[in-house]
Amino acid sequence: MASLHIPCTTTATTPSSATRPSSRHHFAKPSHLITHAKRNNRLQISCSDSQKQKDSSQNADTPQGNVDRRNVLLGFGGLCGAANLISTHTASANPVQAPQIDKCGVATNLNTGKQLDINCCPPMGKNIIDFKPPPLVQMRTRPSAHRVSAEYMFKYNTAIDRMKRLPKDDPRSFMQQANIHCAYCNGAYDQPGQGTLDLQVHNSWLFFPFHRWYLYFYERILGKLIGDPTFALPFWNWDNPKGMTIPPMFVDPKAAIYDAKRNPANMPPAVVDLGLTGNKDPLQVVSNNLTVMYSEMVRANSDIYDFMGKPYREGTLVNPGPGASERGSHVAIHVFVGDPREPSGEDLGNFYSAGRDPLFYCHHANVDRMWTLWQYFLPNNKLIDKKITDPDYLNASFLFYDENAQLVRVTVKDCLDNTKLGYDFERVDLPWLDYRPPPQTAQAKVMRTVSTTRKADAVFPLKLDGIARVLIQKTKKGKADELLVIEDITVDTSKFLKFDVFVNDEDDNVGELDKAAYAGTYAQVPHKTNEKTATTTIRLKLTELYDDMDVTEDDTVLVTLVPRHEGEGVTIGGIKIIENPTPAKTS
């Protein structure tokens, strides 16, 4: 009997016994690997050798119509990873510095296959001042866009209209404001002092702070244009069923906040599809949406970086890794609204053009709200340390023109508390807060015998051109505090792409996310990076998923990756399960 001997001697932080089930099963069992197969045994795993492996996948019945059997990859991956833990969170360099406006160059859109150069540089500013919060007279309350009054809509449209009428070279004008996003996201700026290394505010811990500042100044400019310092941007409450359509005020073609470059198929009453599964049943889509929200806000994050995104410091290559919210609901809305008739999904479907649609700021007001909710309002997360104290985060800086067309340098540390910037959000329900998928019943389990296993390197790197299934070793048998690590996800940055991750999925209905087996998502909006590809790693917390699925006897799990868009633009370097290095504090 072939013995699978995977050393799991752990060198990482030893968790307290209070948070971790005690187990002596540090070694995988040599054979009789128990996995959760499909009820009807359509999925056969026989991994005795590569030929058998091939036969097995060729004989695997198609689990459902849209799964091509050639794409069902079976393998056994997952080295016990605790010793391989690489902490990306401790290294210190310098914070990313605000760009030099005088060095702003062309921005690039690579989405069309050919390079499209765009000038989105701001006008030169004479002197730069450091941000000082203006005295707080009255809190600006951002309203839910589906609930605003006619009076509010009038004010908002008037403000946008005036913004559109400002001289073209006024840094507060509509296109200049839109171009801020283009410049910071499509390679117009290099990191100061770092040669030609791009400055990029997405796919890292700068995502939330940058967009918070961007909206802050946008809102202040609009308020100034209508002489109302209490004016606040609306937020698109896409996380609530009542807000799961494009807010009606944006679809009036005569309104200043209208934009013609949107997907006509997704106009109201089309329900937003945060899971981008393409499921056509609106009730199912609402349920998927709430599941996505629950997953990215509550279930899948083991530490603050899983939510905020990975560290991005001076000299870091762009794209260190997006947080759960950025790569989930945030990307989905960009793609839902962007117009597929346009060459690059303009406007919202591509970063260089996203700021040209007023709906962008309404979308991002809700993204910003998610950050606030995560920081202050989620009881489920209260055991996670939510403060990043790293000076490379706190001192990262950006430049914006304020409501007086004054160039201002801002830092991350000054935007951590939205109320200190003078705004808050209308309180609405959080229907996803307890939207935990129902536990999966145990009867569906099928035992299969695996005589030997394939090494992970026989499967990886794995091009995600179809649904892929890989058997992964757990660090210990049964319910443990573990993270699923999808490593070295190499993506073509010029493409919109997405895949979902399921663990021990029993029913293979990939159009439904509201089930215990759904573990999380990776997605991106096309953008520019120095290289045409970017590589990142995501971690998905499995603790609650194990509670909702019967894994008591298991020392492996079956991981299913479901590409939703442009899977051929994604290569997965490896998958492993590690112990949670940051177990929740218990007091």
User: What residue numbers does the annotated binding site cover?
Assistant: 181, 202, 211, 330, 334, 364
Q: How far is the CB of 333 from ligand C2O (least distance, A)?
A: 8
Tell me: does residue 185 bind ligand C2O (CB under 6 A): yes
Q: Is 565 a catalytic residue?
A: no
Catalytic residue among 330, 360, 400, 527: 330
Contact call for residue 369 and ligand C2O (CB under 6 A): no
Within 152-181, which residues bind ligand C2O (CB under 6 A)? 181
- Largest interatomic CA distance in the chain: 79
Active-site choice (181, 307, 400, 460): 181
Q: Token pair 């210190």 is at which residue? A: 92
Q: Over 187-236, what HEC string results?
A: CCCECCCCCCCECCCCCCCCHHHHHHHHHHHHHHHHHHHCCCCCCCCCEC
Is 131 among the catalytic positions? no
Active site residue 364: yes
Q: Is 356 in the site for ligand C2O (CB under 6 A)?
A: no
Closest C-alpha to 390, from 309, 298, 299, 326: 309
Residues 294-333 that bind ligand C2O (CB under 6 A): 330
Q: Of the two residues 527 and 539, which places its CB atom closer to ligand C2O in the complex?
A: 527
Of these residues, 174, 351, 400, 502, which one is catalytic? Answer: 351
Taking the C-alpha atoms of residue 77 and residue 573, their distance in angstroms, rounded to an integer, is 11
What span, in angstroms and rounded, lies between the C-alpha atoms of 163 and 172? 7
Beta bridge partners of 76: 471
My answer on whether omega of the bond before 281 falls inside 30° of 0, hence cis, is no
**Smallest distance from the beta carbon of 214 to ligand C2O, in angstroms?**
8
Residue with tokens 């470059």: 261
Among 36, 174, 207, 334, the active-site one is 334
Q: Which residue has the tokens 């209508």?
A: 226
Q: Catalytic residue at 202?
A: yes
Query: Is-catalytic flag, 211?
Result: yes
Residue 499 annotated to the active site: no
**CA–CA separation, 64 and 67 (whole Å):** 6
Contacting ligand C2O within 187-226 (CB under 6 A): 202, 211
Q: Count of CB atoms within 10 A of residue 557's CB?
A: 26
CB of residue 202 to ligand C2O, shortest distance in Å: 6
Q: Looking at beta carbons only, is 211 or 541 nearer to ligand C2O? A: 211
Under rule CB under 6 A, residue 354 binds ligand C2O: yes
Known binding-site residues for Cu cation equal 181, 202, 211, 330, 334, 364
Token representation of residue 429: 């329900």
Half-sphere exposure of residue 260: CA atoms within 13 angstroms, side-chain side: 3
Q: Quick one: 366 or 473, whose CB is closer to ligand C2O?
A: 366
Measured from the CB atom, the residue of 4 and 365 that comes closer to ligand C2O is: 365
DSSP state of 327: I
Comparing CB distances to ligand C2O, the nearer of 337 and 558 is: 337
Residue 518: in which H helix or E strand, if any? strand 518-524
Binding site for ligand C2O (CB under 6 A): 181, 185, 202, 211, 330, 334, 351, 354, 364
Instruction: Tell me which residues are annotated as active site.
Output: 181, 202, 211, 330, 334, 351, 364
